[in-house]
């Protein structure tokens, strides 16, 4: 399996090269030259596999330059009951017949990104040790990506993490999780601007190829292909858990700001998993919902600060991979659209044949606001005795709008409600239960530096902390 860029300007590379590289050399995103197709016999064989076996079955088709025994060992080391609370890794909880929540928040940072990030930490360490190299990870986070990356990479040999986050825009729990880390290879940078500015700074540094090469800059954001592929595994596990034969279909409601978790389901569907619908759920920053309803992709000039902060994103970076598939994997068309985006601030596919193809990919969408998520949290608690976090509530709201009789609907959990105490308190009149060990996390000493949204200052900061 080789990888090229959505924009057509990168020579074909194997998995481990794009694993460490993040953004493609031409500013695009790495994509596989094809999607491996699973036959009915493949799916029948995978049914009944445990999580580790499924992970190898899916990931090995994309990571073809890692020897099978090495990959199996990395997966076995990653997906343990000790790390994720159960041998299922991502257990499915049934609310009522045909309505389910996929538990993705049992890892070390209590959020879905742990599922991929723990694997990435081990993959990075493996590839760096093999090549006697070092890696300096630069990322931006609206909450959960940062802590998942830092907890996955802390103490890893040959790795430093520089993580940008919007100052004062994350929940107190999320902030404490990240900023309380004291590991010498972890650098938290609070940017005096919204998340999108953090993402822009990451891209600007990644686009400076001289700086990137000199300081060995990589990324773990959802633009990292390996992260997205790792997330595809739990779609398979869930499908097999809820069906008896491969003739059945399942729909998924996916809370998303950056399209990464949706893209993972899209990959699974392209491989042949019988997914009926992927329902994209947004919050008030509804750029994705607008596209799927109108064909217009229009990042907002300002990001709204909401009560589902991990989705406070208005430039869905990973969306580029879906558009690439939507336009027939034609890099010229894709590049033209992104040039138009840079020039005009939007592009419109509504009057093109491409937009009509959205349904072929099974995509639908819905949006939620603060009142909706409060009502949904309250309803789920009253009906099922289950407390869900604000992002999962957004997913549940959008999912129920598209629910079909006879088709199981699975809402993907984003994080544990303990991370969003204020909103849960408003919805239920009582705060969420905190897992053991997290009772007083906000009182821990915090270590971080503050920077303006200035790329030159960020580069200087990074350079000063990497030994010559």
Active site residues: 113
- The H helix count followed by the E strand count for the chain is 20, 15
Cβ-based burial of 41 (10 A; exposed 0-12, middle 13-18, buried ≥19) = exposed
Spell out the alpha helix ranges (H) of 215-369. 225-242, 260-271, 287-294, 319-326, 331-344, 353-356
Cα–Cα distance measured from residue 63 to residue 407, given in angstroms and rounded to the nearest whole number: 33
Three-state DSSP class for residue 415: strand
Residues 6+ apart with CB under 8 A from 154: 161, 181, 183, 185, 186
Evaluate whether 236 touches 273 at the Cβ level (below 8 Å). yes
The SS3 of residue 41 is helix
Closest listed residue to residue 217, CA positions, set 397, 20, 71? 20
* Alpha-carbon span 263 to 278, nearest angstrom: 9
Question: How far is 461 from 254, CA to CA, in rounded Å?
Answer: 36
At residue 406, φ and ψ (nearest 5 deg) are: 85, -5
- Is residue 132 classed exposed, middle or buried when 0-12, 13-18 and 19+ CB atoms within 10 A define those classes? exposed
Provide the pairing of β-strand 135-140 with 159-166: parallel
Place of tokens 């976090």: 389
H/E stretch holding 347 reads strand 347-348
Give dist(CA 57, CA 377) in Å, integer. Answer: 36
Residue 180 CB-density burial (10 A; 0-12 exposed, 13-18 middle, 19+ buried): middle
- C-alpha 322: how far from chain center: 14
Using CA atoms, how far apart are residues 10 and 334, in angstroms rounded to an integer? 14
How many CB atoms neighbour CB 210 within 10 A?
7
């Amino acid at each position: 399996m080789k990888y090229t860029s959505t924009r057509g300007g990168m020579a074909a590379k194997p998995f481990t090269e794009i694993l460490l590289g993040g953004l493609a050399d031409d500013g695009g995103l790495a994509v596989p030259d094809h999607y491996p197709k699973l036959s009915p016999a493949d799916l029948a064989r995978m049914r009944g596999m445990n999580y580790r076996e499924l992970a190898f079955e899916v990931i090995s088709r994309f990571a073809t330059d890692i020897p099978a025994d090495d990959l199996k060992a990395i997966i076995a080391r990653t997906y343990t009951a000790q790390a994720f609370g159960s041998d299922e890794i991502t257990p499915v909880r049934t609310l009522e017949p045909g309505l389910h929540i996929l538990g993705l928040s049992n890892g070390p940072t209590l959020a879905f990104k742990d599922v991929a990030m723990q694997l990435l930490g081990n993959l990075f360490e493996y590839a760096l040790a093999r090549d006697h190299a070092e890696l300096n990870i630069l990322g931006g986070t609206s909450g959960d990506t940062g802590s998942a990356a830092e907890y996955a990479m802390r103490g890893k040999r040959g790795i430093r993490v520089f993580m940008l986050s919007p100052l004062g825009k994350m929940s107190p729990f999320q902030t404490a999780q990240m900023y309380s880390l004291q590991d010498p290879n972890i650098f938290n940078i609070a940017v005096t601007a919204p998340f999108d500015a953090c993402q822009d700074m990451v891209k600007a540094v990644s686009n400076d190829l001289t700086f990137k090469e000199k300081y060995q800059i990589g990324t773990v954001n959802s633009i990292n292909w390996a992260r997205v592929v790792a997330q595809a595994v739990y779609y398979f596990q869930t499908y097999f858990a809820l069906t008896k034969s491969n003739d059945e279909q399942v729909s998924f409601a996916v809370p998303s700001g950056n399209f990464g978790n949706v893209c993972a389901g899209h990959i699974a569907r392209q491989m042949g998993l019988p997914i009926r619908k992927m329902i994209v759920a947004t919050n008030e920053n509804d750029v994705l919902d607008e596209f799927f309803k109108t064909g217009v992709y229009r990042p907002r000039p300002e990001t709204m600060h909401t009560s589902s902060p991990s989705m406070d994103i208005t430039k869905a970076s990973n969306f580029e991979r879906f558009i690439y598939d939507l336009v027939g994997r034609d890099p010229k068309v894709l590049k033209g659209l992104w040039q138009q985006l840079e020039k005009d601030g939007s592009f419109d596919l509504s009057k093109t044949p491409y937009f009509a193809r959205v349904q072929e990919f099974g995509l639908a969408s819905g949006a939620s606001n603060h009142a909706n998520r409060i009502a949904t949290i309250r309803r789920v608690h009253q009906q099922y005795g289950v407390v869900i976090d604000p992002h999962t509530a957004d997913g549940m709201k959008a999912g129920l709008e598209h629910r079909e009789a006879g088709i199981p609907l699975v809402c993907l959990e984003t994080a544990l409600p303990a991370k969003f105490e204020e909103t849960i308190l408003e919805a239920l009149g009582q705060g969420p239960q905190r897992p053991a060990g997290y009772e007083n996390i906000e009182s821990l000493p915090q270590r971080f530096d503050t920077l303006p949204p200035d790329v030159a200052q960020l580069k200087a900061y990074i350079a000063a902390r990497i030994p010559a």
